[in-house]
Amino acid sequence: MSGWSKARDARGERMSAAASLAKGKIVEAADATALLERLIRPGDRVCLEGDNQKQADFLARALIKVDRQKVHDLHVVQSGLVLPEHLELFESGIARKLDFSYSGPQGAALARALDKGRIELGAIHTYIELFARYYMDLTPNVALIVARQADRDGNLYTGPNTEDTPTIVEATAFKDGIVVAQVNEIVDKLPRVDIQGDQVDFVIQSPTSFYVEPLFTRDPASVTETQILMAMMAIKGIYAEYGVRRLNHGIGFATAAIELLLPTYGESLGLKGRVGTHWALNPHPTLIPAIESGWVEQIHCFGSEVGMDDYMRARPDIYFTGKDGSLRSNRMMCQNAGLYACDMFIGGTLQIDLDGNSSTVTPGRIAGFGGAPNMGADPHGRRHATDAWLKAGREASDGEQTLVRGRKLVVQMVETFGDKMAPAFVDELDSIALARKLDLELAPVMIYGDDVTHIVTEEGIANLLLCRGRAEREQAIRGVAGYTEAGRGRDRKAVEALRQRGVIRRPEDLGVDPLDATRGLLAAHSINDLVDWSGGLYRPPSKFRNW
Amino acid sequence: MSGWSKARDARGERMSAAASLAKGKIVEAADATALLERLIRPGDRVCLEGDNQKQADFLARALIKVDRQKVHDLHVVQSGLVLPEHLELFESGIARKLDFSYSGPQGAALARALDKGRIELGAIHTYIELFARYYMDLTPNVALIVARQADRDGNLYTGPNTEDTPTIVEATAFKDGIVVAQVNEIVDKLPRVDIQGDQVDFVIQSPTSFYVEPLFTRDPASVTETQILMAMMAIKGIYAEYGVRRLNHGIGFATAAIELLLPTYGESLGLKGRVGTHWALNPHPTLIPAIESGWVEQIHCFGSEVGMDDYMRARPDIYFTGKDGSLRSNRMMCQNAGLYACDMFIGGTLQIDLDGNSSTVTPGRIAGFGGAPNMGADPHGRRHATDAWLKAGREASDGEQTLVRGRKLVVQMVETFGDKMAPAFVDELDSIALARKLDLELAPVMIYGDDVTHIVTEEGIANLLLCRGRAEREQAIRGVAGYTEAGRGRDRKAVEALRQRGVIRRPEDLGVDPLDATRGLLAAHSINDLVDWSGGLYRPPSKFRNW
């Protein structure tokens, strides 16, 4: 039988080699690097848990210190490549190949490392695309994961940041891989079990608590009147028109503005209970006023957010929580909810070309995709109807179809000029030049134009569902591209005709007066206002405290 | 705080009401109905675990016996509606609304119940679409699940049929719902933990073991020479041409024929290691010869298959297994693998229209979708490249695209005439008339034509990727539709032109001689041959034993 159990045999050998370092499943922090040297072999696929938020930072530092004669040429398969240590693994030759989803703060370092040939890039995935490959052809041999607490049987408590952990552990543990967890503390009894000890081989108490980045906190004080105008148009021209109840928001300020306008502007339009009731969303503090005003029925979260724990604990009807009272997040489940159970994805981008393709790549930075391409795509496998979905499908229909079909709303919000007056509308995405330079198989495109249904700028809304043919789409995009070169290149007659047909709608066509777009409309004007809305339950991290 | 914890408060009341029936978490089988009467309230969303294979049949029988004054108008949210008891719930008024995925043997009874107005239909979903809604707007209040064993803490061992359980339990347990498990036995120590007891409220030992249906066993003796011919064409014209390594097979005889031809015909074409190495697949016994011949590197399974346990236990390098040695399946993970990590879905269907839309609805039967629409769709959120995917994308490109994009291969295999000489190619799918009759919002379409890339019949392969425009697609489909009315209605010149371009390929164009398509080519001719290939490890259920 050994011919069919190579992985199990290899696991057995490694576990034996490591046994002397462990008492039961517990290994001392000082022995972490020695443990990894005994468990990991050259060429292994390793997931060094780096999620969107929480990081196995102690294990990352332990891995950097391994003897490179023993451990090298690893294939890193993890969603987030966000710590400097993650890049260091490649610089030092411990790792060679990379499949990932999101690099955030390491985007520039990653692009440099690719350019220098230090990293053999597999692909830049969406989150659940990478998770899917854990069960197909990228199963980790070793998973180095992170949790808050462990008991002596290896059961783990992740607290609110469960995130990717169950998905990583299941793939690894059930394919004879090895699972090592860093935890903040080892306790006798866990508040709840997020990962069963059955699937965990070793536990190490790290000297310091694991790192979590607040990623989803947007200070209302920074929301601009342009963003408020765009948010008003989106609410009136999209949320209300389609009756969008189930949705996901991106992380930008324009969607934060929408969240802050629901209980004010949205309320004045009579939309409460008719839009924004069910969400696949991280715990955005800017949604607190809408929740407190009774707009929201339920939210499932990819991960957590620093400072939101007590608030969520006090709102179990809204959030998914455990018996310990704290949030249970799960990126795999939430991304699936975003894919198949949401009627709309709305988010920002940095560049859009004249076909509607969008990208967040800027020269010299590869930020990765995260979840946007997954949620910002029309799932052809969807087979349940809602009014919003059917209306979008009718608009997209060319009249030839004999079958009723719906469409997901995929909305891109963008100011025509971004930071340093860089135009958002371009002839060619910067990501194409980058792909050429780095010899990537695919240019990093966030959302392809054929999935985008609406583009919202300060100049108006372009409804691409109503466009027939490529030329019309191009004019619809130019028609909201403002004073960018793309906007100035519009065919004025064609754009006027599109406006007559309602394909392009200006603020005045929507009955939105730009003079009304003032900060006074926001339900909260500061982080402190959000704290007040929460009854003091929201505890913003210090960098957001300025009172 | 109680204004924000209605579900938790309701849970507390129900748990208190039920407490006197339980010792710890254990409830006697005789008290099952009384337990459900105390836990379930009118209008609740209930998941009565009915997966593709395993069934919470004891709990289904217990639920039927509830006092209808106490428990009525339930909203059933579960993937499989396959037991007679499931229908009885609606006939008796215990349940009113239904959201499901697959009905299989109850397809006719379901259609009748819909026609009589006994069921308010939400929608017919794909599996992960329904699971996604568990985390959005169809979260169960009560989950009645099934496992092999429990310990006294409520930890569960599912054995090979883990299937939907983790996905159901997580949604329910972390939204203050209630989880009740029926198990075959209660033991002191589980072979492994599949569901942590933390998430399970009550355990009942059922008087009889739960029901599992062998769904994926195809007797090689029943494979026809027509199917062998189609399989040869598919292997040479699709698997080889695109180099398809990661894939899913449907459950029909045509794909079973492919599995049985890999180690013979496939070997003769030199394809070993180049195609069919990684699979999202149930444990098909007909894949045993290919596995034993070294074709397969890894398989992740949605569920299990009766008789395959010992074989899989002895092949841990191929299958995902637990520390107890037996299979770990997981439908959510495997369907995601099928969606995002496979380059091809290939399966059969019953009807195809001239746009390429397909359906398995027959007059008076609604079988549901299962996973086909999910896996048989091009995922626009995919961002990793393979040769197979890129080649399909190039063929689909109209030359206007500036961006390199790939395509999933979605192949429909169908004989031009099916059972009772019913034509497979039709002007209008029967599902459209059924949708009209039952007033469904959407006609039940298995796979939409715009996602289908190839149609394989005994007359040849139509490559729809190469078609430009609707008229050309129609002729390509007619061109492989044989002597059906649709086939006879072809424009002969147009079809010949398509053949010249390689859009349509006949067996002779592929170098496949129909005279070679004999049963002698199959690696196994009977179930007994499969047992032999497995070295006696495969133990077919008695209904497949005829020696």
Cβ(B161)–Cβ(B125) below 8 Å? no
Residue A541 lies in a domain: no
Report the pLDDT value the prediction gives residue A364, as an integer from 0 to 100.
83
The three-state DSSP-derived secondary structure of A414-443 is: CCCECHHHCECEECCCHHHHHHHHHCCCCC
| pLDDT score recorded for residue A121 | 95
CA A473 to chain centre: 28
**CA A450 remoteness from chain centre:** 21
Residues in chain B closer than 8 A to A442 (CB atoms): 383-385, 404-406
Chain B interface test: which of A403, A431, A432 (most B C-beta within 10 Å): A403
Is the CB of A384 less than 8 angstroms away from the CB of B129? yes
A299 is a domain residue: yes
Give the DSSP H/E element, type plus range, for residue A185: strand A178-186
Distance from CA of A443 to the nearest CA of B (A): 7
How would residue A213 be classed by pLDDT, with cut points 50, 70 and 90? confident
For residue B163, give every residue at least 6 positions away whose Cβ sits within 8 Å of its Cβ, in sequence order, or none: B51, B52, B53, B54, B302, B303, B304, B329, B330, B331
Q: Sorting pLDDT into bands at 50, 70 and 90, what band is A1?
A: very low
Residue where the block lists tokens 């695309």: A129
DSSP B38-62: HH--TT-EEEE-B-SSEE-HHHHHH
**Are the C-beta atoms of residues A547 and A525 closer than 8 Å to each other?**
no
State residue A119 phi and psi, 5-degree precision: -125, 130
A488 lies in the same domain as A451: yes
- Name which of A155, A135, A161 is nearest A50 in CA terms: A161
Same domain for A384 and A306? yes
Per-residue pLDDT, B223: 97
User: Phi first, then psi: what are they for A140, rounded to 5°?
Assistant: -70, 140
Shortest distance between the Cα of B259 and any Cα of chain A, in A, equals 18
Query: Is residue A488 in some structural domain?
Result: yes
B480 and B400, same domain (yes or no): yes
Q: Which of A210, A231, A256 is the last residue of a domain?
A: A210
CA dist B455 and B476 (Å) reads 9
* Cβ-defined contact of B135 to A432 (cutoff 8 Å): no
d(CA A482, CA A460): 9
Sign of CA dihedral B163, B166, B169, B171: negative
**Per-residue confidence band for A398, with pLDDT thresholds at 50, 70 and 90:** confident
Same domain? For A230 and A358 the reply is yes
Statement to judge: residues A133 and A183 lie in one domain: yes
Is residue A537 a part of any domain in this protein?
no
SS3 A449: helix
Q: Which of B4, B340, B443 lies at the smallest CB-CB distance from A132?
A: B340
Of A161, A156, A164, nearest to A180 (Cα)?
A: A156
The model's pLDDT over A295-319, given as tens digits with 9 standing for 90+, comes to: 999 999 999 999 999 999 999 999 9
pLDDT of residue B133: 98
Contacts with A192 from chain B: Cβ below 8 Å: 198
CB A476 within 8 A of CB A464: yes
CATH at residue B379: 3.40.1080
pLDDT < 50 stretches in chain B: 1
pLDDT band per the 50, 70, 90 thresholds, residue A44: very high
Contact B317 A470 (CB under 8 A): no
Nearest to A472 by CA among A429, A509, A501, A447: A501
Closest chain A C-alpha to B302 CA, distance in angstroms: 11
Residues B307, B347, single domain; the answer is no
Say whether B380 and A373 touch across the interface (CB within 8 A): yes
- Which residue type is seen at A6? K
**pLDDT tens-digit map of A443-490:** 999 999 999 999 999 999 999 999 999 999 999 999 999 999 999 999
Instruction: For residue A83, tell me if it sits in a domain.
Output: yes
How far from A517 is each of A239, A265, A507, B210, CA to CA, in Å?
17, 10, 11, 62
**ipTM over 0.90 threshold:** yes
Average pLDDT of span A533-546: 91
Distance to chain A for B74, nearest Cα, Å: 20
User: Residue A214: what pLDDT?
Assistant: 82
pLDDT of A248 over the 50 cut: yes
The separation between the first and the last C-alpha atoms of chain B, rounded to the nearest angstrom, is 68
- Whether the Cβ atoms of residue A235 and residue A509 lie closer than 8 Å to each other: no
Pairing of strands B120-124, B74-77: unpaired
pLDDT at A252: 92
pLDDT of residue A117: 93
Is the distance from CB of A46 to CB of A141 less than 8 angstroms? yes
* Number of domains composing chain B: 3
d(CA A380, CA B374): 7
Q: Identify whether the C-beta of residue B409 lies closer than 8 Å to the C-beta of residue B86.
A: no
pLDDT at A546: 67
Q: How confident is the model at residue A401 (pLDDT cuts 50, 70, 90)?
A: low
User: What's the rounded Cα separation, in Å, for the pair B53 and A411?
Assistant: 39
Average pLDDT of the residues in A540-545: 87
In a domain, A29, yes or no: yes
Residue B131 to residue A445, Cβ atoms within 8 A:
no
On whether both A492 and A520 belong to a single domain, the answer is yes
Q: Is the pLDDT of residue A43 over 60?
A: yes
Structural domain boundaries, residue B463: 343-516
Q: Are residues A163 and A252 in the same domain?
A: no
Handedness of CA A159, A163, A167, A172 (dihedral sign): negative
Rg (CA), chain A: 24
B200 located within any domain: yes
> A140-144, A417-421, B19-23 — which is least confidently predicted?
A417-421
CA B222, B238, B235, B370 dihedral sign is negative
DSSP E strands, B20-158: 22-23, 26-27, 45-48, 54-55, 74-77, 95-100, 120-124, 142-150, 156-157
pLDDT in tens, A63-121: 999 999 999 999 999 999 999 999 999 999 999 999 999 998 999 999 999 999 999 99
Higher pLDDT residue, A147 or B542?
A: A147
Q: Which of B176, B336, B375 to mutate to test the interface with A (most CBs of A within 10 A)?
A: B336
Identify which has the larger pLDDT, B231 or A3.
Answer: B231
pLDDT in tens, B290-342: 999 999 999 999 999 999 999 999 999 999 999 999 999 999 999 999 999 99
- In a domain, residue A495? The reply is yes
Residues B129 and B80 reside in one and the same domain: yes
Closest chain A C-alpha to B167 CA, distance in angstroms? 8
- CATH code, domain with B202: 3.40.1080.10
A171 and A254 belong to one structural domain: no
Residues A488-529: tens digit of each pLDDT: 999 999 999 999 999 999 999 999 999 999 999 999 999 999
Same domain, yes or no, for B326 and B378? no
Above 80 in pLDDT, residue A169? yes
Among A136-150, A434-448, B86-100, name the one with the lowest average pLDDT. A434-448
Q: Are residues A232 and A203 in the same domain?
A: no
Percent of chain A with pLDDT over 90: 92
